Chain A
Amino acid sequence: MSRTAYFIKEAMANIFGHGFMSLVTTITIIFCLIIMGSSSLLALNIQHIIQSLEDENEMVAFVDEDLSEEDARRIESSIRATANVAEVQFMTRAEAMESFLEKYDDNSLFRDVDESVFRHRYIISLNDIGAMESTQRAIARIPGIAKINAHLEISRGLVTLRNIITVVSAALILILFFVSILIMNNTMKIATFNRRTEIAIMKMVGASNSFIRWPFMLEGMLMGLFASLCAFLLLWGGYRLLNDLITGTLSFIRIIPFDDILLPVLGIFCAVGLVEGVFGSVGAIKSYLRV
């Protein structure tokens, strides 16, 4: 049997040989991953909702009233060339009036208003509304643009909210990550306590630290990987249930479809599960190796 095959066989034998402690360790990783995963998904969804609000916060650039429709349309390329501009939609005077009238159920008051009162305009959405002010200034400098309406206070508010949520959720996830490593480490310490004699024997017959560590590391990796797959499936199920519930009752809230984040979530879960498994197991036997 090659060394690698021996390590794998040992890791598997250890997992099943210490079944109860393996189960406790796996459940601990699942628990930690679900807490971390649901916090991350919550933060991600809040950001997604804010993002959709941001997308709705468009700027309106009014074209100089002296310009003909043809001249007004010529400005579009300059607007598109401006940094941070995501989408540009041209709206003629007539369309602007139509859109205005649509807002009122009883629009008889405005029936006699001439469309020349309205200006040709551009509806501009941005990539980053945090840079709305500078984009507004840049577009204002384009010849033919008379005035720009931008809700700077709303954009500032949304940006601040988004920043706060990003920082708070990142800090929370980081804390949860370290807490779960700690919990994992302690669980593994209990799990390996009964194996300290075994480790001492290994040391006594001349096993190097890496030789002793490898099966423990593989054991941690396998348990971490298995736990992350379980946690992923549980979270997937839970998320779908919640999605159905929200779609049925709070239909105005759009949550991110799980299919869109399936692969990144699976990847992150596997990575975190592996890291927790490896660091937890190696950390737990560290003190027994100092002989």
Chain B
Amino acid sequence: MIVMKNVRKEYENGTDALNGINLEIEDGEFVFLVGPSGSGKSTLVKLLTGEISCTDGEVHINGFDLTTMRLSRMSRLRRTLGVIFQDFRLIPNKSVYENVAFALRVVGAKPKKIRERVEYVLDLVGLVDKKDHMPGELSGGEQQRVAIARALANNPRLIIADEPTGNIDPELSREIMQLLVDINAKGTTMLVVTHEDELVDRFSKRVVMIKDGKIVRDGTGGYYGHE
């Protein structure tokens, strides 16, 4: 569950990236976070993943109060999250299997559990047969599916996907989005940042739109709503 109360983020150079953000996302929800470039979407994601802290306000995520949390404890929060990036962020010199297994190793999972879980999530994203490949040998869509498998590895309560289809062609984008919707149907909360209106319109989900650091729309419907 995500709760943001009166969140303001001002960068050191004086840029007011977010101002007065109030947002609640319940467990099991699927939410699109949309908005034009520079609207504050990335800042919001960075706040949620603990990469930056807010200037004012409160951020609670999966029971952690990020406002008061020490940097050294941030790893505990991240273990309850799955994060998917536009540029996949796979470790280039590790195989598909190792990239996914890595997320389990950091939480101290037993070797047997690692084997079983990696096979399971790779099967879920349809990449079991490519488990020994290196990321460089895969297409963009496949790399993103590996990133999704890695995000799923620890069975997180929440997945944050930051422009997950930004680097892949439209047809594969729909596949990836459908995969995220299917994962959400199994109970994982999903926050998907995107600026692709066609995809948002296709899946009728809750849409939160940010503009100039403020939430300007929050409701179900297409990218621009039905107003």
Contacts and interface: CB of A to CB of B under 8 A. Distances in A.
B106 A207 contact: yes
Contacts, number: 50
Given A1-B111, A290-B71, A291-B51, A208 B89 contact: no
Contact of A205 (B71, B106, B108): B106
Contacts of A20: none
Given A208-B106, A291-B51, A203 B75 contact: yes
Contacts of B106: 202, 205-208, 211
Interface string B91-104: 10100000000110
A17 interface: yes
Given A6-B105, A211-B106, A197 B89 contact: yes
Looking at chain A's contact residues, the main secondary structure is helix
Interface residues of B, number: 25
B157 to A, nearest CB: 13
A204 B79 contact: no
B89 A206 contact: no
Interface in A196-216: 197-198, 200-209, 211
B83 interface: yes
Given A3-B108, A6-B105, A211-B106, A206 B154 contact: yes
Given A1-B111, A3-B108, A6-B105, A206 B91 contact: no
Given A1-B111, A290-B71, A291-B51, A202 B93 contact: no
Q: 9 smallest A-B Cβ distances: which pairs?
A: A206-B79, A206-B78, A207-B106, A205-B103, A208-B75, A206-B75, A201-B89, A198-B91, A17-B93
14 contacts: A1-B111, A6-B105, A17-B93, A203-B75, A204-B78, A204-B83, A204-B89, A205-B78, A205-B150, A206-B78, A206-B81, A206-B106, A207-B75, A291-B74
